[in-house]
A and B are shown apart, each in its own frame.
Chain A
């Protein structure tokens, strides 16, 4: 099986990967459909179960969407893939700015951010100008934005307003632009297979987030005098820890975090055959991406708490399709640059 896969051309290997992904998705969707049908005929579960089921279906729809989008991106070449991630960055930044109050004086800086910085950054990615695209935002843009703001003649909360805008650009544009940039890393003997690297990063980070989410759901912390704690068993008691930073996240603790890291890293290592890494290298790279991603997710949670909202997006009701996008991609936005630069540094590319 392995030998057969290795003998395929890179294009066929990527196609096989998508074949497997879509196959698994189809299977899961069919099972979900059947379970839903059975549930409708004779309801055997409570309201809480139904809610979780609806959540799961929403997650499945998102996964389908992302998989199809990735497939289109890959099928039409790196140019289209870059454009796709530029669009995601655009929607994410739009959400970020919507929920970070700006003043009239910020208008020109916002125009600069959306219509100049974002396209230029992704253009630099598409043309593989690595030396410029890694410094364009942190050096040039971070100096240009305050200048434009100062020229708007509004000094009130100057530092705070600029920090908001620059942080939004850093996360949504700079972070996101490193995902398509992976397509352009040229490992010797790995030409044409960079799509695997993007898949590796996205899959590993997503695994890490999902595992942590599931653990937090399943083993929610209860005060020690609750009767059912005894019934949870050793694993349950070990995992149901007090949240470490309850004001920021009620589900984050080091035990479930560690477990999420471990599982995602092992999954990453197991996928080393599709990457240019050896087993140990894949483990380390997955670990680096997961640490950056999950910590980034925590940072974005702190920002949301500061704004007093549970989710990014407009007031919870979603009809635009762009709502809550930032919630799904924030971990990736933090993981991508760290992953990209670690890979470049370690392999001397």
Chain B
């Protein structure tokens, strides 16, 4: 427990030294209500970045999502993700995008189960609806998990976030990060409109994230 706290501080210091870990609360104040933060995904460090950008009081009640195949493949990484970040593991590629004709995928709930449990217990969560890291600046199409969660938990506030510059700190394939200032911009919350279609909502959510890029 103490070791995890200590490592948390060290990591926080390191992230601040490398990236500044700047949080810009542009569309909403940092507040201890139950929230789903959804952000663009460019680097493995996104998770660490958004964790470091949150204020101390929110950090303990906000659980980031970590891909099991990357963050649990060594004992050290597994220990950091569970003890320091208090992360929720998800299987990558678990939720395939629904087919054109609207036929529901086999079991859309299975990969979301850990997230549902976290939300039920009252925690806030951080998700990356693109599913995987993008190569270009533009985020890819959002996967349907965000829509499902918004339907199931209508009282949870949906906050879009744009993570800027992190891909330059540690590009795909590199292991040593370089110091470059990064920021996380939190936008105005969005909500699922009554009777709104899945695709329309997901596109709107993606637009809300992209719109934060230039504010």
Residues of A within 8 A of B (CB): 90, 93-95, 97-98, 102, 104, 107, 110-111, 114-115, 313-315, 317, 319-320, 322-323
Any A CB within 8 A of the CB of B165: yes
Could you say which of B23, B176, B180, B183 contacts A94, with CB atoms under 8 Å apart? B180
Q: Are B179's CB and A94's CB within 8 A?
A: yes
A171 to B20 CA separation, bound complex (whole angstroms): 21
Interface string of B1-42 (1 = CB under 8 A from A): 000000000000000100011111000000000000000000
With A111-B176, A314-B22, A317-B24 already in contact, the answer to whether A322 and B181 are too (CB < 8 A) is yes
Q: How many inter-chain residue pairs (CB < 8 Å) link A and B?
A: 45
Any A CB within 8 A of the CB of B171: yes
Residues of B within 8 A of A (CB): 16, 20-24, 165, 168, 171, 174, 176, 178-181, 183
Contacts of A102 in B (CB 8 A): 168
Interface of B is mostly: loop
- Min CB distance, B212 to chain A, in Å? 12
A31 to B52 CA separation, bound complex (whole angstroms): 39
- Min CB distance, B24 to chain A, in Å? 6
Q: Are B24's CB and A320's CB within 8 A?
A: no
Which residue of the partner chain A has the closest CB to B171?
A104
With A102-B168, A111-B176 already in contact, the answer to whether A94 and B22 are too (CB < 8 A) is no
- Min CB distance, A120 to chain B, in Å? 17
A319 to B168 CA separation, bound complex (whole angstroms): 21
The 20 listed contacts between A and B (C-beta, < 8 Å) are A90-B179, A93-B179, A94-B179, A94-B181, A97-B178, A97-B180, A98-B165, A104-B171, A107-B171, A110-B178, A111-B178, A114-B179, A313-B181, A315-B24, A317-B24, A320-B181, A322-B20, A322-B181, A323-B20, A323-B181
Contacts of A115 in B (CB 8 A): 176
